[in-house]
Structure 1
Amino acid sequence: MEFFSFELIHIAAGSLVGFVIGLTGVGGGSLMTPILVLGFGIAPAVAVGTDLLYAALTKCSGVLFHHKNSTVDWKIVSLLGAGSIPSALVTVVLLEQIKVAGFNSDSLMMGTLSVMLILTSIIVLIKGRLVSYVSHHHGESDLIDTLKAYRPHLTVLSGVILGVLVTISSVGAGAIGSAILFLLYPNKKPISIVGTDIAHAVPLTAIAGMGHLHLGTVDFDLLTGLLIGGVPAVYLGSFIGKYIPDHWLRAVIALLLFAMGIKLALRGISY
């Protein structure tokens, strides 16, 4: 009975996070991993590994939808992947070496996760203004002109950074990845940025998740419960979100992410 109750809690957690994802568009990794660590006492490595596979599986339908509607720029996806996939694999190897050496990687993951949550909370708050500024000044700013000149190289470099951070923390492929694309490609329609970001996130989270599976840091019972609760809730949140202004929800989510980031940072000190 206790095991069954625990599974129900996992399903409830997946439902809650899935609903918020659909409602606000905030990435699952930003919410799921800290909830698993802080709310359920799951080991950081297991929370990250399980959430990565959860993200890969739940975002597949999004890729099909955006591809069908021609809102994926596969050239940009390939540039991001050229950086993120190798860096994710290298990061998995380094995590394995840390494990073999007998060191606890939890403090590294907690620290990285806390920083990524705080950064994500800031991006959630300023993303609208940032996109508006870039869209209206992309022809007037020397910095943005420089970004445009080196855009392919910066896209690959962004992929490298995302590959490392996502593999360690499971956070970054959503809000941070799309913010980077908005900066580098200001002329792209927002829906194309979202579609391209999701198309890149699926292989990245899948490969990083498989790496964690190799390391033994994926809990399939937990993953099953999260999927059962989360997948239907995402669609429900998306449906309801059409009728609810989300600016105040984003403010609440940003505050929550910031608070969880600080909490994880303080807890990481004790590891």
Structure 2
Amino acid sequence: MAFHLDYVYIISGLAVGLLVGLTGVGGGSLMTPLLTAVFGIPATTAVGTDLAFAAITKGAGTVIHRIQKNVNWRIVGLMAAGSLPASVLTTLVLHHLDIRGAGAHSPMDTFIRWSIAICVLLTVGVLLFKARIVNWLNNNPHYQATGKSLSFYTFAAGVVIGTLVTISSIGAGAIGAMVLIFLYPDLRSSEIAGSDIAHAVPLTAVAAVGHFSLGTLDFSLLGALLLGSIPGITIGSYLSRAVPERFLRGVLATTLTAVAAKLVM
């Protein structure tokens, strides 16, 4: 039975890693609800394990995107300046709440499940209406932030993302990509994916260390997921420029909708 579960976890890691490499979206949005809704793992453990999973897999993806010059390091720095301190502060709050004993169907577990589902559905909306959003921004340039205002909004978005990621593991990919679409509509899809993944690496690493201190990290589960995800995100990163964006949005939106529905049912 244990061998069978390890095999399933490896396949799950491969599929999620491929989507993350292609789009920069899907790590927490897919892996955490997959672990909770499908495999019955408590949400707190799923969050802690997924954060460590994301830090390692997105580190591999960042190397590939850096080689392809898909990373805007200025944007990454601005977001990290807000997200990393926010993650540390959120971890301290979680320590105070003592979430270690929060099993399946506990109030904390339910809160995390609904938080993830809502964020996933927001991400689906952005994926489906991205073209219209970008077109509206291009037709109304006076609504686009510039200069110091743009830097501040990027920093503030990092604060929000850092908090969300530490609580639920979602946001480093899904919400991060949404923010980049809104604030930087001229970025190529590959640049959005590359910059989003690069920002996620230090953020998820800091949050994973926090969850390790909380005792909500399963190392055996992490190892099985990584066996599949490393090759998956590497392949996906190389294919990110070759696969049609419209096709990617459709596949990801359909997958995320199904996962969100399963999570809250």
TM-score (norm 1): 0.84
For residues 242 and 69 of structure 2, the distance between their equivalents in structure 1, rounded to whole angstroms, comes to 25
Among 125, 128, 132, the residue aligned to 2:128: 125
Residue 181 of structure 2 corresponds to 182
Q: Is the 8 A contact 2:128 2:250 kept in 1?
A: yes
Q: 1:192 to 1:9 in 2, by over 3 A?
A: closer
For residues 64 and 243 of structure 2, the distance between their equivalents in structure 1, rounded to whole angstroms, comes to 23
Identity rate, percent: 42
Residue 150 of structure 2 corresponds to 151
The one-character-per-residue Cα deviations of 1:157-195 (angstroms, maximum 9, x if unpaired) are: 100100011111211112321221232233444433332
Residue 26 of structure 1 corresponds to 25
Q: Is the 8 A contact 1:212 1:218 kept in 2?
A: yes
Using the TM superposition, give the Cα deviation of residue 208 of structure 1 relative to its aligned residue in structure 2, in angstroms.
0.7
Q: Is the 8 A contact 1:22 1:233 kept in 2?
A: yes
Q: 1:126 to 1:191 in 2, by over 3 A?
A: same
Q: Is the 8 A contact 1:98 1:105 kept in 2?
A: no
Using the TM superposition, give the Cα deviation of residue 60 of structure 1 relative to its aligned residue in structure 2, in angstroms.
1.2
The one-character-per-residue Cα deviations of 1:16-37 (angstroms, maximum 9, x if unpaired) are: 3233444565322211111111
Using the TM superposition, give the Cα deviation of residue 69 of structure 1 relative to its aligned residue in structure 2, in angstroms.
4.5
Q: Is the 8 A contact 2:33 2:113 kept in 1?
A: no
Q: Secondary structure at the match of 1:218?
A: coil
The one-character-per-residue Cα deviations of 1:211-256 (angstroms, maximum 9, x if unpaired) are: 1111111111000000111222334455677766463453243133
Cα RMSD for the two superposed structures: 2.7
Q: 1:245 to 1:189 in 2, by over 3 A?
A: closer
Q: Is the 8 A contact 2:120 2:257 kept in 1?
A: yes
1:46 aligns with 2:49: no
1:215-226 alignment runs, 5 A limit: 215-226=214-225
Residue 211 of structure 1 corresponds to 210
For residues 242 and 77 of structure 2, the distance between their equivalents in structure 1, rounded to whole angstroms, comes to 35
Using the TM superposition, give the Cα deviation of residue 74 of structure 1 relative to its aligned residue in structure 2, in angstroms.
2.5
1:231 aligns with 2:234: no
Q: Is the 8 A contact 1:95 1:105 kept in 2?
A: no
Q: Secondary structure at the match of 1:105?
A: helix
Residue 36 of structure 2 corresponds to 37
Q: Secondary structure at the match of 1:150?
A: helix
Among 105, 111, 119, the residue aligned to 1:116: 119
Q: 1:72 to 1:16 in 2, by over 3 A?
A: closer
Q: 1:240 to 1:100 in 2, by over 3 A?
A: closer
Q: 1:156 to 1:249 in 2, by over 3 A?
A: closer
Q: Is the 8 A contact 1:23 1:246 kept in 2?
A: no
Q: Is the 8 A contact 1:177 1:197 kept in 2?
A: yes
Residue 166 of structure 2 corresponds to 167
For residues 226 and 66 of structure 1, the distance between their equivalents in structure 2, rounded to whole angstroms, comes to 22
Moved more, 246-255 or 90-99: 246-255
Q: Secondary structure at the match of 2:15?
A: helix
Residue 76 of structure 1 corresponds to 75
Q: Is the 8 A contact 1:123 1:176 kept in 2?
A: no
Q: 1:250 to 1:117 in 2, by over 3 A?
A: same
Residue 6 of structure 2 corresponds to 7
For residues 224 and 235 of structure 1, the distance between their equivalents in structure 2, rounded to whole angstroms, comes to 17
For residues 241 and 79 of structure 2, the distance between their equivalents in structure 1, rounded to whole angstroms, comes to 30
Matched residue type, 1:226: L
Residue ranges of structure 2 left out of the alignment (5+ in a row): none
Using the TM superposition, give the Cα deviation of residue 68 of structure 1 relative to its aligned residue in structure 2, in angstroms.
3.9
Q: Is the 8 A contact 1:118 1:262 kept in 2?
A: no
Using the TM superposition, give the Cα deviation of residue 132 of structure 1 relative to its aligned residue in structure 2, in angstroms.
4.0
